[in-house]
Amino acid sequence: MLFNTLQFLIFFIIVLGLYRALSDYRWQNAMLLVASYVFYGAWNWRFLFLIAASTLIDYWAAQKIHRATQPRMRKLLLGISLSANLGLLGFFKYYNFGIESFQILLSTIGFDVHSHSLNILLPVGISFYTFQTISYTVDVYRRVRPPVTNLLNFALYVAYFPQLVAGPIEKATQLLPQIEAPRTVTQQDVRIAFLWILLGYFKKVAIADTLAPMIDYAFSNPQEVSGAVSLVAILAFAIQIYGDFAGYTLIARGVSRLMGIHLMENFRAPYLAASPRDFWYRWHISLSTWLREYLYFPLGGSRHGRFRTYLNLMITMLLGGLWHGARWNFVLWGFYHGLLLVGNHALNQIPFRFNNRAWKGAQIALMFGFTLFGWLLFRVHDMGQLAIILENITTRFYWTPDLIYYLKPTLCAFVLLMAYHIWQERTGNDLILLQTSKWVQLGSYAFIIFALVTIRFQAVPFVYFQF
């Protein structure tokens, strides 16, 4: 069930109506759990058993970990939880990738092996809710919080439908207290929710989905377009993936706000980042926070010298890249961002004297260029496609009649997004639109609604559903 469909709008109106009709938060939680399972089962009801199994395993493991007194037993129980979660994730997401990669490796050294890989369907959102449940058991193990005593509340934490399939990845310390207590919705909550939902649909439908067809063509047929078109298509993809993913997050946050639940911010003007480190404080914040707290820090972080710091950064980003999917281009993308972070860390050891607006602008422009190359690695399907696109840009860079077809919507979307982000950044207020004059607000809402109503609508799946 996609957010950008009439089916979801009807579903949510029913859910919100039932939610308002129920006065006790415990009955609200029960209704939300049923709704979440209906929402997830709309893709494939068989995978409900998978999410239920993950819920039961981690609920049981956390209870046992909390009661255990011996360190060895606590570690064993945590290991059972991690093995079960990562085992399910590894099987469904990486089994075929591992078999095919092993077959290619054997072929390169002269062994002709015919392996039989299974036709495994990837459960929607498995990477997101797996990381979410892992963070819960690890927090209980670290004694950051006690285990949940109510199974229904924990099941809702795992399966809560607005953020179930594409995040944000919520920590138990942030989301569970809201599930376990009565919630209120103020008039300001409604205003914020309305803004976020409208902006989310605008970013997804009016921007990301509008750019999607020409991006798909340029990347699928790189030999048929010029280098200039390829370059504009890379810029368009940077806008598309941001609009698509940030749009989903805004809708999820807005829908949740209408029920008194506050989800974390997942994007903060990422293309205004001035460094690789700054980028990961702005892009997919819930994932970068998770990787930092549950992988980078346990590996040792920056506590054991420069070499270990660089190694820990590379391991973290390689696994972060692999989290996105079972393809080598994602591994390469993670490796590339690992190199950027290592370089950023090394440069930070050198004192710079420049600290003015022009220097900051140059840093942002340079980082945006690095980010665009990263998105090229992210978007291609194989190294052959990457080689053709790079050859296009370096040897066939010229004007063609179809360039305007790519350039106009891409630049229009880019200017709109950047202008809004600069406005937020300069004021230091993500909700600045709600604090301007009513005429500016009405004009903005009218523009967004007009764009959504007049656009040729097609329910394009969210990019991050494949992860």
Q: Which residue carries 């660089």 as its tokens? A: 310
Supply the DSSP symbol for 209.
Answer: H
381 in active site: no
CB atoms within 10 A of CB 334: 24
CB atoms within 10 A of CB 288: 21
Q: Which residue carries 């190694």 as its tokens? A: 311
Q: Which residue carries 């129920």 as its tokens? A: 22
Q: How far apart are CA 444 and CA 377, in angstroms?
A: 35
Q: How far apart are CA 414 and CA 402, in angstroms?
A: 19
Measuring CA to CA, which residue among 78, 52, 57 is closest to residue 298? 78
CA dist 419 → 201, 377, 434 (Å)? 18, 27, 16
Supply the DSSP symbol for 275.
Answer: S
Q: How far apart are CA 108 and CA 165, in angstroms?
A: 38
Q: What are phi and psi of 390, to 5 degrees?
A: -65, -40
- Residue 95 CA, chain-centre distance (Å), reads 22
Radius of gyration of the chain (CA): 23
Percent helix, strand and coil across the chain, each rounded to 5? 75, 0, 25
Q: How far apart are CA 40 and CA 43, in angstroms?
A: 6
> Is residue 444 classed exposed, middle or buried when 0-12, 13-18 and 19+ CB atoms within 10 A define those classes?
middle
Q: How far apart are CA 75 and CA 333, in angstroms?
A: 33
Q: How far apart are CA 467 and CA 68, in angstroms?
A: 35
CB atoms within 10 A of CB 145: 16
Q: How far apart are CA 450 and CA 443, in angstroms?
A: 10
Q: Which residues, at least 6 apart from 173, have a Cβ–Cβ distance to it below 8 Å?
A: 139, 144, 145
**Which one of 114, 262, 284, 324 is the catalytic residue?**
324
Write out the H or E segment, with its range, that includes residue 378: helix 357-379
Q: How far apart are CA 194 and CA 271, in angstroms?
A: 25
Measuring CA to CA, which residue among 47, 4, 295, 276 is closest to residue 169? 295
- Active-site residue set: 324
